[in-house]
Amino acid sequence: MAMSSPVLGRLIRVALRHKQRFFWTNGVMIAAAIGTAALPTLIGWIINSGLKLRVDDGISTAAASWGVLSLMCGLLFVTAIARGALAYGQAYLGESLSQRVAYDLRNTLYDHLQQLSFGFHDKAQVGEIMQRATQDIEGIRMFVQMGVTRLVFITLLIILSVGLIALENIRVGLIVIALIPIIGIYAGVMSLRMRPIWLGIVQMQGQLGIVLQENLVGQRVVKAFSRQEFEQSKFDDKVDKLYLESYRTTKYMAFNEPFLQGAWLVAVALVFWVGIKEIQADRLLPGDLIKFQIYLVLLQVPVRALGFVVNIVARAFSCGRRLFELLDQVSPVNDSDNATDIAPGPGDVVFEGVSFEYDPNRTVLDEINIHAKPGQTVALLGPTGSGKTSIVHLLPRFYDATQGRVLIDGEDVRDVTLNSLRQAVGLVQQDVFLFSATIRENLAYGKPDATDEEIIAAAQAARLHDYIVSQPDGYDTWVGERGSTLSGGQRQRVAIARTLLLDPRILIFDDSTAAVDMRTEYLIQEALRTLMAGRTTFLIAQRLRTVREADQILVMRDGKIVEHGKHEELLAANGFYREIYDLELKDQEDASVSQTGRVGE
């Protein structure tokens, strides 16, 4: 239990955030336990007081004291009504508290995921996170409802009932008292057994979610390579393992209830046998024996429920541990204590001796020095994995530099608030993501209060307006999941327009025209030429047009800037840039001339 205490303690503290609701729930539970425990005592009192045994000529008869009997029955009726009302209250308040806790945890988890850096999301598996946000939180909700509040009722009812039996007759009471340690030890052993099994189950459910999520997202790839049978076998393997572990828990649970019920029936038989002996010895009244039997009947449900509660607690430990592992993740990228909004400025960008590594001993950037003056266009060129994207990701602080500084208008990006920084830096990423919403909503995602005029202007700049107005619903055209109803070029232009709508002082285009044909690229570049005026722009592209017109070209290799200059200067140097030009860019130049000629016709 030592290992589970911190986890379960944290879950209880989450419930205690709603102190008033928590104490009302437990108050009603206590009152319900007292009311339940009072019923058998009243019944025994009615039997003993309302019916008096009389013996005439060796024949036993019963004389009813109707006044006492009426009073007792009326009291019993009131107690039963109160117990019913309290039972409703405990069910309602228990459910209300558990739903509040689940609500808090879901919002806390969602908010925490928004705050975590790119470093976490690079490694996180969506299916696993979805599992923790749904089924794990549901397991915790059931623990609050059954393992916290319900356990109060069960424990108090057992204590009151056993105590009242023992006070009435210690010999009968000892039989019931002797059973409690047996049940307690058994419950503890079962908890230890169930805990690792439940942990394995929730982990397998997470793995199953990962396989399902990847399969649904990658259906085009699956069908293109005819890998349906392979994917099915992979899914079947996870399902089989989950089935076997779930079956193990079912076997334990199936044994729990009969064992506890059997143990309780043994106690009922022993109490009945000892009670008869006590009546024969004039140490017990018949009504008391009936009262004891009613107590045992009432206790049968909570005692049997202990097995269920043990299962709930074991599952909650596993779910809570997984959830808190996620909530305890600390983002290395946060606002500093003294962070302020970034001051207005022209967009002067400086990288001073910047080095960066995603993981220890895996250097991505090494001693990067860049000075992009306001309004300049800086093109980053180099082979895949050379560090181009990593450089631009340091500007909006998706990651923090391991060494050195990144300055915007003289301010270290680590000294300004993330929100203001990312309003100043507009990024069109290589992997375009669009939401299941209208084109208008996707365009205005970064600026929800944008006017129709602003949205249309951004769409026109990205050469997207004509396509939009050609659709029956215009700007209210629905975009499928991840932009599936649009072509690659259209998605790219939506992303460009979305960024331009922010009107940032610094623009970053991460291979932003890679998904469009040369004609579309030409049209976009013509529009961007005007829009980039007065803004510092970083371009990652493999197209010659972009590279040739840049004010600076930074040639990257193995995380270092190996060449720096303009197009003609770098060609004349006959270095690494010349190799790239001869292998990749020269053919583009010839094709571009031909394409441009057709565009101008």
Q: Determine the average pLDDT of the residues in 338-349.
A: 90
**pLDDT band, very low/low/confident/very high, at 585 (cuts 50, 70, 90):** low
pLDDT at 83 over 50: yes
Cβ neighbours of 208 (radius 10 Å): 19
- Which pLDDT value is given to residue 412? 92
The C-alpha atoms of residue 515 and residue 512 are separated, in whole angstroms, by 7
pLDDT at 54 over 50: no
Sheet with 552-557: list strands edge to edge: 425-428, 506-510, 536-540, 377-381, 552-557, 560-565
Alpha carbon of 94 to those of 24, 34, 89, 136, 157: distances in Å?
10, 17, 8, 19, 17
The one-letter amino acid code at 251 reads K
**pLDDT band, very low/low/confident/very high, at 205 (cuts 50, 70, 90):** confident
- Which pLDDT value is given to residue 600? 41
- Which pLDDT value is given to residue 434? 80
Contacts of 87 (CB under 8 A, 6+ apart): 32
- Which pLDDT value is given to residue 411? 92
**Percent residues over pLDDT 90 in the chain:** 7
Q: Mean pLDDT across the chain, nearest whole number?
A: 78
Contacts of 13 (CB under 8 A, 6+ apart): none
Q: How far is CA 330 from the centre of its chain?
A: 15
- Which pLDDT value is given to residue 598? 46
- Which pLDDT value is given to residue 53? 46
Q: What is the SS3 assignment for 484?
A: coil
Q: Determine the average pLDDT of the residues in 235-261.
A: 76
pLDDT at 407 over 90: yes
Alpha helices in 218-366 (DSSP H): 219-224, 228-280, 286-327
The C-alpha atoms of residue 475 and residue 454 are separated, in whole angstroms, by 13
The token duo for 241 is 């393992």
- Which pLDDT value is given to residue 513? 57
Tens digits of residue pLDDT in 352-384: 999 998 777 778 898 899 999 998 889 998 888
Tens digits of residue pLDDT in 426-465: 887 767 778 778 888 888 888 888 888 888 888 887 778 8
Strand bridging mode 425-428 / 506-510: parallel
Which of the listed ranges 43-57, 224-238, 489-503 does the model predict with the highest average pLDDT? 489-503
- Which pLDDT value is given to residue 511? 62
- Which pLDDT value is given to residue 378? 92
Cβ neighbours of 33 (radius 10 Å): 24
Give the total residue count for the chain: 601
pLDDT at 536 over 70: yes
Q: Which residue has the higher pLDDT, 342 or 189?
A: 342
pLDDT at 349 over 90: yes
The C-alpha atoms of residue 500 and residue 522 are separated, in whole angstroms, by 18
pLDDT at 592 over 60: no
- Which pLDDT value is given to residue 542? 66
Tens digits of residue pLDDT in 286-304: 777 777 777 777 776 676 6
pLDDT at 138 over 70: yes
- Helix (H) or strand (E) holding 552, with range, is strand 552-557
- Which pLDDT value is given to residue 372? 92
pLDDT at 351 over 90: yes
Among 94-103, 180-189, 240-249, 392-401, the least confident range: 180-189
Among 77-91, 240-254, 440-454, 557-571, the least confident range: 240-254
- Which pLDDT value is given to residue 319? 83
- Tell me the HSE value of 560 on the side-chain side, using a 13 A CA sphere: 6
